[in-house]
Structure 1
Amino acid sequence: MILFLFNLNNMVFYTESDWRGVMNHIFKFAFIFIINIIFLINASATTMDKDKFVEANGIKIHYVEEGEGPPLLLIHGGGLTAKSWQGLAKEASRYFRVIMPDSRGHGLTNNPQGTFSYDLMTEDMAAFVKALKLEKPLVMGYSDGGMVVLKLTSRYPDLARAAIVGGATHRFATAHYMQGMEIFYGKGMPQGQLMDRDLDKMASDAPGMVKFYQNMHHPEQKDYWRTFLKGVWPMWTTPTSLTEEEVKKIHIPVLLLDGDRDEFFTVEEVTQLYRLLPQAEMTLIPGSGHAIFQTPGKTPLFYALVLEFLQRQLPKAS
């Protein structure tokens, strides 16, 4: 089979054996494009509310909030910050008090021990909810935040009213997941601990990613991006999962929301989680990859799905 693409000057032919490499380049360029969009949004954004901090689980958690009403806790993805939720927060704040923390070691939240784990971040969020005295919040997490939401609602079944898990399943660092890591961060990156030479390679292969991290996470520390990635990489690339028994402890309503072209999680994996959860709904956003809330042209659908589910979980007016 012969496949072909057009450029401005020439017709370029690709054999089937070449096609995988072409697609990897397309995915990488698409991801860099989306990262640049996120960076520009964050760089130009006004503060949603005055920066706030609270001590919880031994760290100083930075958070912002917007709106009034029933509490909605948004937990961002790995490598992002609370500001990544700005678009959704603008819509949701018409109905909810939207609370957006920076996760441990992300944004302006500190990480004195320098260690990361999903279990530790789960306890951070449990302590955060307690510190802010949030009563039965709605919770939503994306990617890393999705894993935290799954662990949080399994470990503390009565903490939340309902949950949304976006761009995540109950199994991380699978073979398919690691293929996604290659698309986003380049080939040849190890599982487990990163070395300085690995970070040098990343700086060469993905300078836009490095610039993004430098601006988003403790920008007062020029080389914090190296500290951050060395700390978080083992968590990102070490297989971790919830058992079936742990998943079945999540008895609240849960919406699973993912792109049908997610580079990290297959539709089959999301479906497996859907079948394990006692009260689950599942929606796939067509034509969307992992960055479901930033896919050009898909954000209105994303917002509508999220808000429709959340509003159904509120107590009915008597």
Structure 2
Amino acid sequence: MGGTVPRDGYDVQFVTIHGHRRAYVKAGKGPVVLLLHGLGCDHTTWEPVIEALSRRYTVIAPDLLGHGQSDKPRADYTLGGFANGMRDLLTVLGIDKATVVGHSFGGGVAMQFAYQFPERTERLMLVASGGLGPEVSPGIRAISTPGFDQLMSVLTLPGIRHAGMAGLRALSSAPYKVTRDLDEVAAIYDTFKDRRARHAIRHVVRAVVDWQGQIVTMADRAYLTEEMPMWVVWGRDDRVIPVRHANAAARIAPNARVEVIPDAGHFPHKDHPVRFAHIVHEFIRTTAPAKYSRARFRALLKAGGNQASLQAVEDTA
């Protein structure tokens, strides 16, 4: 079951999987690039770069379950659940493999997808990604606290919501780095008027964040990226997830390339869309797609990231 709804120059298409309607945009031809948005966002966060990328690639930009125009059921909102959903969406669309690009929470989904389905992942790009360290903004931690839904039910009343969004957007135009991303915060705030969206996002956050910060990281499995081309992109002025997490990625995944974009916040693909599209193209142009080997994957798992152990495992294979 499917359909299309015109939206800002792109057709938003729909497919029903496991009884839940999922929205996505598909544009262009060529190797597949799967774009995964962050918490509270949807595919429109990628609109500044979709056109440029679609000149060379088939771009798939879904609304994750619980977000945007996709259904918001009582469902599995864990990273594993989202990764399974992306596997199923690509399967229904007849797509076998993709370069997976994940922003913020979508970066966590991208990492989980690459971990669960390495045979379907050609490359992995993490953009201001979750899952690389514990720190996260207080606003995201607040979503997991008791009383969030009751507070939002008041703050999203029409008059209060409109005033709050206007204030956030006005602040975002101020010449201060700390207010750079508040226009995006305003858009996320607007989605909270939908009680189903609030519940979905709360379940998402509780699966990966507690009062101390992020509870799910890739640190213990980063050695598996040895066989996976990986590029980490961050905005130097990110106030949501600190840019130092990019350095953490370099430590735990030494083969990954790290690029920090000056004068960019938590949404570098929106702050500098031309440069970002160029980075994606360079990533694909200069790296060969990963080739999954069950024997190699087994050896990596047995060695647990220890190079000496890995050599010993391979010598006895």
TM-score above 0.5: yes
Is the aligned partner of 1:113 residue 2:74? Answer: yes
Match of 2:100, SS state, is: strand
Q: Structure 1 residues 194, 303: closer, same or farther in 2, change over 3 A?
A: farther
CA distance, structure 1, for counterparts of residue 216 and residue 106 of structure 2: 14
Q: Structure 1 residues 194, 237: closer, same or farther in 2, change over 3 A?
A: farther
Q: 1:132 offset after TM fit, Å?
A: 1.9
Find the counterpart in structure 2 of residue 22 from structure 1.
none
Counterpart AA for 1:100: A
Q: Structure 1 residues 45, 119: closer, same or farther in 2, change over 3 A?
A: same
* 8 Å Cα contact 2:232/2:256 also seen in 1: yes
1:111-150 alignment, distance < 5 Å: 111-114=72-75, 116-150=77-111
Q: 1:228 offset after TM fit, Å?
A: 4.2
Q: Structure 1 residues 124, 192: closer, same or farther in 2, change over 3 A?
A: farther
Find the counterpart in structure 1 of residue 277 from structure 2.
303
* 8 Å Cα contact 2:132/2:248 also seen in 1: no
* 8 Å Cα contact 2:236/2:265 also seen in 1: yes
Is the aligned partner of 1:246 residue 2:203? Answer: no
Instruction: Compute the RMSD of aligned alpha carbons.
Output: 3.0
CA distance, structure 2, for counterparts of residue 249 and residue 111 of structure 1: 33
Match of 1:91, SS state, is: helix
Find the counterpart in structure 1 of residue 304 from structure 2.
none
Tell me, which stretches of 5 or more residues in structure 2 are unaligned? 1-5, 166-183, 290-317
- Worse overlay, 75-84 or 271-280: 271-280
Is the aligned partner of 1:177 residue 2:174? Answer: no
* 8 Å Cα contact 1:193/1:234 also seen in 2: no
Counterpart AA for 1:207: G
* 8 Å Cα contact 2:14/2:21 also seen in 1: yes
CA distance, structure 2, for counterparts of residue 265 and residue 169 of structure 1: 7
Counterpart AA for 2:152: L
CA distance, structure 2, for counterparts of residue 202 and residue 285 of structure 1: 34
* 8 Å Cα contact 2:74/2:200 also seen in 1: no
CA distance, structure 2, for counterparts of residue 139 and residue 210 of structure 1: 24
CA distance, structure 1, for counterparts of residue 195 and residue 218 of structure 2: 37
- Worse overlay, 208-217 or 99-108: 208-217
Find the counterpart in structure 2 of residue 48 from structure 1.
10
Find the counterpart in structure 2 of residue 31 from structure 1.
none
Q: Structure 1 residues 103, 77: closer, same or farther in 2, change over 3 A?
A: same
Q: 1:240 offset after TM fit, Å?
A: 2.5
**What is the TM-score with the length of structure 1 in the denominator?**
0.70
Q: 1:156 offset after TM fit, Å?
A: 1.7
CA distance, structure 1, for counterparts of residue 217 and residue 188 of structure 2: 29
Find the counterpart in structure 1 of residue 206 from structure 2.
234
Counterpart AA for 1:120: G
Counterpart AA for 1:154: Y
Q: Please, which of 152, 157, 164 is the counterpart of residue 199 of structure 1?
A: 152
Tell me, which stretches of 5 or more residues in structure 1 are unaligned? 1-43, 183-188
1:144-159 alignment, distance < 5 Å: 144-159=105-120
Counterpart AA for 2:273: T
Q: Structure 1 residues 200, 59: closer, same or farther in 2, change over 3 A?
A: closer
CA distance, structure 2, for counterparts of residue 115 and residue 163 of structure 1: 23
CA distance, structure 2, for counterparts of residue 107 and residue 163 of structure 1: 24
Find the counterpart in structure 2 of residue 7 from structure 1.
none
CA distance, structure 2, for counterparts of residue 171 and residue 147 of structure 1: 9
Match of 1:293, SS state, is: helix
Counterpart AA for 2:151: D
Find the counterpart in structure 1 of residue 231 from structure 2.
255
Q: Structure 1 residues 228, 169: closer, same or farther in 2, change over 3 A?
A: closer
User: How many pairs are equivalent?
Assistant: 258
CA distance, structure 2, for counterparts of residue 149 and residue 312 of structure 1: 20
Match of 2:270, SS state, is: coil
